């Protein structure tokens, strides 16, 4: 077979995948032009992939296929494409040079070389990572005017521009730059690759945009807390026939306050209705008698009660038998979720570790969160953040009179 295969210096084909790799090599139909394989780029505390996407790995050796770009090079997949479940792991062993990509782009521009749309996008993102927000906006706004360019990149460019404007003090400009209606229109008019987006995929991306727009949370404070999501990615996986396999929206947590994070989790375990977090519940007199109870309106239904019940059971299993076991408190049913995210730029190898827990799992009364920024040494949320929430529950649950079972 006349194919080329590429891997980065820190990519690994692990032992468990090698037999599948050899079998595919022997059985591959000769009319296949490109084989797409999963690319695992993030891992949980047990080393299992937590974020993956497809990349072209085997490419027919002919002049039809060429690398595009000086940074984040890509061969555009076309022809007969096979999607394989074989995974390549990207395991960076040490921190890279955070300025390398920016230097390459600036040298290209100094030499009079033009950047094609995809490279414009990545150049703007590098400027953003380096906090050069004005330059980033200029480059990304130009990219958004290009007819070419991947829809996924245009979606994220809108989010990055919004965050740049926000950091520059232009709140209204940030709101308008989200361009929600324009992006939603793109779903109807543009293709992703060579296939039109499935309807289900459009709905996932629409939900991602809804989450990525500015969130306003009235928490009983004099002013509202604004959250601009940056670094979010809408990840759509489709099968060879164009049907949606999975769709997720991920956020790296940068720019979010803990109260925003809590608000986004409360409705999962609270019967499916969104309830705005508040600092006050009631007013007591000196004798401890209630003299006033604050009333808050019913929240908007986000998911069904049945879905909320399912989520509570799943999240309880995270603590009882999964990565959140360090939050378990003897005698209580605890639910929760660990999180370990890498901040931008990824070459800096800095992380945010967190754990959100609730108790009792079948009738939640308390929600606790621990967020650790840039931990040193071990950085997994289940290892370093979950024990903090456990300690909180060990003190709060007895105080509230919630007895052990």
Torsion of CA 297, 302, 308, 312, to 10 degrees: -90
The 3-state DSSP class for residue 250 equals strand
Residues in the chain: 405
**CATH assignment at residue 319:** 3.40.710.10
In this structure, the answer to whether residues 113 and 226 fall within a common structural domain is yes
Q: Name, in order, each residue with C-beta under 8 angstroms of 1's C-beta and a sequence gap of 6 or more.
A: 25, 28, 30
Residues 185 and 117 in one domain: yes
**Of 216, 239, 256, which one is at a domain's C-terminal end?**
256
Question: Do 234 and 266 fall into the same domain?
Answer: no
- Rounded to two decimals, the pTM is 0.50
Please count the structural domains in the chain: 3
The rounded mean pLDDT for the chain is 76
Domain enclosing residue 34, as ranges: 3-90
CA atoms of 229 and 242, how far apart (whole Å) = 29
Same domain for 25 and 65, yes or no, is yes
Q: Count other Cβ atoms within 10 Å, centred on residue 380.
A: 21
Q: What is the pLDDT of residue 326?
A: 94
| Cis check: omega of the bond before 360, within 30 degrees of 0 | yes
Give the pLDDT confidence score for residue 344 in this predicted structure.
Answer: 67
Determine the pLDDT at residue 113.
Answer: 93
Please write the tens of the pLDDT for every residue from 221-235.
332 222 223 333 333
Helix, strand, or coil (residue 311): helix
pLDDT in tens, 223-268: 222 222 333 333 333 334 433 333 333 333 344 556 666 666 677 7
- DSSP conformational letter for 53: E
Ramachandran sector of residue 9 (left: φ over 0; alpha: ψ -120 to 50; beta: rest): alpha
């Amino acid at each position: 077979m006349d194919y080329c295969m590429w891997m980065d210096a820190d990519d690994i084909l692990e032992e468990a995948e090698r037999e599948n790799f050899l079998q595919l090599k022997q059985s591959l139909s000769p009319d296949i032009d490109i084989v797409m394989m999963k690319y695992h780029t993030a891992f949980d505390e047990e080393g299992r992939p937590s974020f993956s996407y497809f990349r072209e790995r085997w490419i027919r050796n002919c002049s039809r296929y060429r690398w595009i770009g000086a940074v984040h090079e890509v061969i555009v997949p076309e022809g007969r494409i096979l999607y394989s479940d074989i995974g390549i792991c990207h395991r960076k062993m040490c921190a890279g040079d955070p300025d390398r990509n920016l230097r390459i782009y600036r040298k290209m521009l100094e030499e009079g070389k033009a950047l094609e749309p995809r490279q414009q996008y990545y150049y703007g993102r590098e400027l953003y990572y380096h906090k050069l927000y004005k330059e980033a906006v200029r480059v990304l706004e130009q990219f958004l005017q290009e007819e070419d360019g991947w829809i996924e990149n245009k979606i994220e460019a809108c989010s990055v521009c919004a965050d740049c404007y926000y950091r520059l003090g232009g709140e209204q400009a940030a709101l308008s730059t989200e361009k929600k209606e324009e992006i939603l229109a793109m779903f109807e008019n543009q293709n992703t690759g060579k296939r039109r987006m499935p309807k289900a995929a459009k709905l996932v991306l629409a939900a991602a945009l809804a989450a990525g727009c500015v969130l306003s949370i009235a928490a009983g404070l004099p002013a509202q807390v604004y959250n601009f999501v940056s670094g979010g990615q809408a990840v759509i996986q489709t099968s060879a026939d164009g049907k949606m396999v999975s769709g997720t929206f991920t956020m790296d947590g940068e720019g979010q306050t803990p109260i925003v994070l809590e608000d986004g989790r409360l409705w999962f375990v609270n019967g499916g209705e969104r309830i705005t977090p508040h600092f006050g519940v009631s007013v007591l007199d000196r004798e401890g008698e209630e003299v006033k109870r604050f009333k808050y309106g019913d929240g908007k239904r986000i998911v069904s009660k049945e879905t909320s019940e399912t989520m509570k059971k799943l999240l309880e299993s995270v603590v009882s038998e999964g990565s959140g076991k360090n939050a378990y408190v003897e005698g209580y049913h605890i639910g929760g979720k660990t999180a370990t995210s890498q901040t931008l730029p990824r070459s800096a190898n800095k992380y945010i570790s967190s754990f959100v827990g609730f108790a009792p799992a079948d009738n939640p009364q308390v929600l606790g969160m621990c967020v650790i920024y840039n931990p040193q040494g071990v950085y997994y949320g289940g290892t370093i953040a979950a024990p903090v929430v456990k300690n909180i529950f060990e003190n709060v649950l007895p105080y509230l009179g919630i007895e052990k079972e």
